[in-house]
Amino acid sequence: MAVVCDLSAHETIESVVTGIIEVHGAIDILDNNAGTIWGAPAEEHPLDGWKKVFDLNVTGLFVLTQAVGRHSMLRTGRGRILNIASVEGLVGIDPRHMKTIAYNASKGAVVNMTRALAAE
């Protein structure tokens, strides 16, 4: 059963997670596959756009992962988390395409968050 959760609504994530666990007992697999983009050259990129991208792509992913870990995976001692990032989080983007500095930076953050979580 797939459940969709709005990762930009941080205040609802905990209740979504606990609701799933109440019905199913545990969460065995978490597929973090969210992303938003804002195209603008770095020198013109609005701070609101930067915050929107990071709020969903990084903070939302973290809050959901933290809730699933705390309420299910750490409690049961099992589970798998799949974080979907982007090659643009590793190498940036060809400058001939749309300029997406916030997206690239946020997906780089997801790559390194995944490494840090794996190490923990």
- Active-site amino acid positions: 103
Q: What distances in angstroms separate CA 67 from CA 12, 32, 39, 80, 90, one per listed residue?
A: 11, 13, 31, 14, 27
Is residue 103 within 8 A of residue 88, CB to CB? The reply is: yes
